[in-house]
Amino acid sequence: MNPARREPLLWIQLLGLAALPLEALGLLLVLAGADPGLFPGFERVLAWALGAVAPAVLFWRLPPDLWSLLLLQVPLRARRPDQLRLSALQGALPLKLVAASGSLLLLPLLWWSDLAAGMAWAWSPLHASPRLVGLLVALPLLALMLWQWQQLVQVLWLFSRSAEQVEQTLPLSQSQAAELRLNLGLPLLLLPPLELPEPTSAVVGVDAAVAVEPEQPAEEHHSADLDAEVVEADDS
């Protein structure tokens, strides 16, 4: 079995799929706090560049650590060899390209949210705030959404790898994991691997009862032959 499926932290990261719509709603409410400025298109592109493109460049050089949840992470010294092997698989070029594409998706999301922000003006937590404040608060929201997108893509990628590919991958050293991955959070997270049953092929055994008549012993055949000979001798 792929060891990635035994890691509870990777399953927890899949919850980001449910958090992304809530963060998109938060972005809409934040941008609804003020009217668009004189150059709304330029403001949106600038906010996208700072909140999405700049983190994407950082994540390209330092992919988000698999064993980090922003506030907490697995200590480097406590990481198992399988965890370090999975970390080594993060350097695949197709994975990095798909993960970086999340920054492109954030531009139309930001653009639409800013256009539709007027509908949520009454519920904005930044009601009657300056436009600059709303844009500044939107930046960390964009970066957080990109972080979760990267983690979702990484987890799905690792779940799709074969067990043989993971076993043949050389694990990162602790120093490499510290230098080549973006490790955020306090090193206090320790979760044991899940005990999942190994997949086995179902074999159904059918017992066939066969009735075999027992053979008569050889002594009975010999005695019958002798009796027949005695009868013939008497008749003669």
What is the full DSSP assignment across 35-97?
---S-HHHHHHHHHIIIIIHHHHHHHHSPBPTTB-SSBB--GGG--HHHHHHHHGGG-HHHHH
pLDDT at 227: 52
pLDDT at 196: 77
Q: Which residues have a Cβ under 8 Å from the Cβ of 127 and sit 6 or more positions away?
A: 33, 121
Domain boundaries, the chain: 3-180
pLDDT in tens, 9-43: 999 999 999 999 999 999 999 999 888 878 999 99
Q: Please check whether residue 152 is in contact with residue 15, taking contact to mean a CB–CB distance below 8 angstroms.
A: no
The total number of residues shown for the chain amounts to 236
Q: What is the mean pLDDT of the chain?
A: 86
Q: Please check whether residue 44 is in contact with residue 99, taking contact to mean a CB–CB distance below 8 angstroms.
A: no
- Side-chain-side CA neighbours of 130 within 13 Å: the count stands at 3
Q: Mean per-residue pLDDT for 127-136?
A: 90
Q: Please check whether residue 69 is in contact with residue 185, taking contact to mean a CB–CB distance below 8 angstroms.
A: yes
Higher pLDDT, 105 or 224: 105
pLDDT in tens, 142-163: 999 999 999 999 999 999 999 9
Q: Please check whether residue 158 is in contact with residue 86, taking contact to mean a CB–CB distance below 8 angstroms.
A: yes
Q: Please check whether residue 6 is in contact with residue 163, taking contact to mean a CB–CB distance below 8 angstroms.
A: no
pLDDT grade, residue 200 (50/70/90)?
A: low
pLDDT grade, residue 180 (50/70/90)?
A: very high
Structure tokens at 13: 């990261």
Residue 210: pLDDT over 60? no
Residue 103: pLDDT over 80? yes
Residue 51: pLDDT over 90? yes
Structure tokens at 86: 């999975």
pLDDT at 73: 96
Helix 40-48 with 102-115: angle, nearest 10 deg: 150
pLDDT at 211: 41
